[in-house]
């Protein structure tokens, strides 16, 4: 099957925002067959696991999943380097290396992100002004988050979007100025922000003794992102403070969960937005989460394990990605669990974090 034919099928699922189990499996198998033949490192990995184009997985749970860190080890792409249309930089880890998620086209990526965003953040059809506390794609073209909000702002914004995060520095004065302008004009805004940038914004507002009253219909999209930061604020506190300082109801603060190695995103369910303690996330129809144990086998509902994602929009790389993120599946959807919860170390051995801290 050709790339074009596969893309057409994925795009059809995105357009319909529907894909039943049988169709998901069929498309996943075809994508798997395509990827093991064209993505050499993945093909070798899959063959070592006993699968290949001539031996397709019977269930999506059986699709060999590469660890997310594999993107730092090899070029995981189904096309030659000279056909790379865009690439996103994966974050470094405690071991320091970054990696790339390369795309042969942004068509699937952009279609997937817009379809989800439309349903999960713009269900009311609002045309908002986007005040972005995420990397500016003009400054950091290889930030997947920056790209995502660039596309959203361009396609769904009112043409007056702003970018306030420059490196690690937040231009709070510009944000306050632009938020006030939007408020004066009665234009509802969407504040797209990492959790850490939101903390920085709230700190800046507190320093200025400012509380904003964003226009009705305004909302916040929070994308997580405390990794590697020394200051972590629990989500309930963060949302309560954001609601107070920005004048946005808690239920209009929506958490997005995604990763550079994926092309699709999860969002809080509408039903769970009224609370902040246990938000539940749902994927779009072409993305499926599987919670696995240490042996890689799926865990029953309600049991916490590592998250594996099967993202059919990852046609140009690998559709099955294993992560170290933790979660549990419930009848409502996916509940993310913080990595530190219940993760107290045992023994008197050195650990990676301590070693990193010692090395400065």
Partner 1 sequence: MLPARRVIAHVADAAERWCDADFPPRVRATAAIRARLGYSEPVVDYALDRLFSGVTRDALEAAIASELGSVDALDGVAERRGAPAAWARGVDRVVVVSSDTTIGVAVVPAVFALCAKCGVVVKDRSDALVAGFFASLAEEHPAFASAARAHAWTGGGDPAETALFEGADTVVAFGRDDTLRAIRARCGADTRFAGFGHRASIGRLTRDDLAAFDDALAARIARDALLYDGEGCLSPHALFVAADGAELARVASALAAACERVVVEFPGGERAPAHEAATAAYRNLAAFRAAGGRGAVFRAGDAALVLDPPRDEPPPFLPRVIPLIAADGDAAIAAYVAAHGLPVQAVGVVSADAAAVALAERIGAVRVAPFGTMQAPPLGGHHGGTPRIADFVRWIDLG
Contacting positions for partner 1 (CB under 8 A): 41, 44-45, 47-49, 65-70, 73-74, 95-96, 292-296, 304-306, 322-326, 337, 339-352, 354-355, 357-359
CB of 131 to partner 1, least distance (A): 34
Q: Please identify, using beta-carbon distances, which residue of 48 and 331 lies nearer to partner 1.
A: 48
Are the CB atoms for 60 and 28 separated by under 8 Å?
A: yes
Q: Look up residue 211 and give its two tokens.
A: 């509380």
CB of 96 to partner 1, least distance (A): 8
Closest CA to 64 of 86, 82, 47: 47
CB of 292 to partner 1, least distance (A): 8
CB of 42 to partner 1, least distance (A): 9
Are the CB atoms for 222 and 256 separated by under 8 Å?
A: yes
Q: Is 342 helix (H, G, I), strand (E, B) or coil?
A: coil
User: How many other CB atoms are found less than 10 A from the CB of residue 143?
Assistant: 19
Are the CB atoms for 310 and 55 separated by under 8 Å?
A: no
Q: Look up residue 338 and give its two tokens.
A: 């913080």
Q: How far apart are the first and last CA of the chain?
A: 50
DSSP assigned state of 311:
E
Q: Please identify, using beta-carbon distances, which residue of 231 and 346 lies nearer to partner 1.
A: 346
Closest CA to 120 of 11, 326, 264: 264
Q: Please identify, using beta-carbon distances, which residue of 49 and 114 lies nearer to partner 1.
A: 49
CB of 238 to partner 1, least distance (A): 21
CB of 237 to partner 1, least distance (A): 20
Alpha-carbon distance 210 to 359, whole Å?
Answer: 39
Q: Which residues pair with 328 in a beta bridge?
A: 335
Q: Please identify, using beta-carbon distances, which residue of 69 and 114 lies nearer to partner 1.
A: 69
Q: Please identify, using beta-carbon distances, which residue of 18 and 350 lies nearer to partner 1.
A: 350
Alpha-carbon distance 160 to 141, whole Å?
Answer: 20
Q: Is 241 helix (H, G, I), strand (E, B) or coil?
A: helix
Q: Please identify, using beta-carbon distances, which residue of 208 and 297 lies nearer to partner 1.
A: 297
CB of 330 to partner 1, least distance (A): 16
Q: Please identify, using beta-carbon distances, which residue of 42 and 267 lies nearer to partner 1.
A: 42
Closest CA to 197 of 173, 164, 230: 164
Q: Look up residue 153 and give its two tokens.
A: 């702002």
Q: Please identify, using beta-carbon distances, which residue of 37 and 244 lies nearer to partner 1.
A: 37
3-state secondary structure 95-108: CCCCEEEEECCCHH
Q: Please identify, using beta-carbon distances, which residue of 184 and 343 lies nearer to partner 1.
A: 343
CB of 168 to partner 1, least distance (A): 23
Closest CA to 335 of 308, 304, 309: 304
CB of 100 to partner 1, least distance (A): 16
């Amino acid at each position: 099957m050709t790339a074009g034919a596969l893309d057409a099928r994925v795009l059809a699922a995105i357009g319909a925002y529907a894909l039943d189990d049988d169709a998901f499996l069929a498309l996943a198998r075809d994508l798997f067959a395509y990827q093991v033949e064209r993505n050499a490192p993945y093909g070798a990995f899959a063959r070592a696991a006993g699968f290949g184009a001539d031996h397709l997985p019977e269930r999506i749970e059986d699709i060999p999943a590469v660890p997310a860190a594999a993107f730092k080890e090899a070029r995981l792409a189904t096309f030659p380097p000279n056909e790379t249309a865009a690439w996103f930089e994966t974050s470094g880890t405690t071991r320091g290396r970054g990696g790339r998620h390369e795309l042969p086209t942004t068509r699937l990526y952009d279609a997937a992100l817009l379809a989800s965003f439309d349903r999960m953040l713009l269900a009311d059809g609002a045309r908002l002004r986007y005040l972005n506390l995420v990397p500016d794609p003009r400054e950091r073209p290889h930030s997947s988050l920056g790209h995502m909000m660039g596309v959203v702002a361009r396609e769904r914004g009112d043409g007056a979007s702003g970018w306030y995060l420059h490196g690690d520095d937040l231009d709070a004065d510009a944000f306050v100025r632009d938020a006030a302008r939007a408020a004066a004009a009665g234009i509802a805004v969407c504040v797209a922000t990492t959790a850490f940038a939101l903390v920085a914004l709230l700190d800046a507002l507190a320093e200025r003794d400012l509380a904003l009253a964003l226009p009705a219909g305004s909302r916040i999209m929070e994308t997580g992102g405390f990794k590697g930061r020394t200051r972590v604020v629990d989500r309930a506190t963060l949302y309560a403070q954001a609601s107070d300082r920005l004048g946005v109801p808690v239920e209009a603060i929506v958490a997005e969960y995604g990763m550079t190695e994926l092309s699709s995103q999860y969002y809080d369910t509408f039903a769970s937005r009224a609370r902040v303690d246990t938000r539940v996330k749902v994927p779009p129809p072409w993305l499926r989460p599987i919670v696995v144990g240490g042996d890689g086998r799926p865990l029953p509902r309600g049991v916490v394990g590592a998250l594996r994602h099967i993202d059919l929009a990852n046609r140009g790389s690998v559709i099955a990605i294993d992560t170290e993120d933790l979660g549990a599946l419930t009848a409502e959807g996916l509940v993310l669990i913080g990595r530190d919860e219940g993760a107290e170390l045992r023994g008197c051995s050195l650990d990676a974090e301590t070693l990193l801290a010692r090395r400065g």
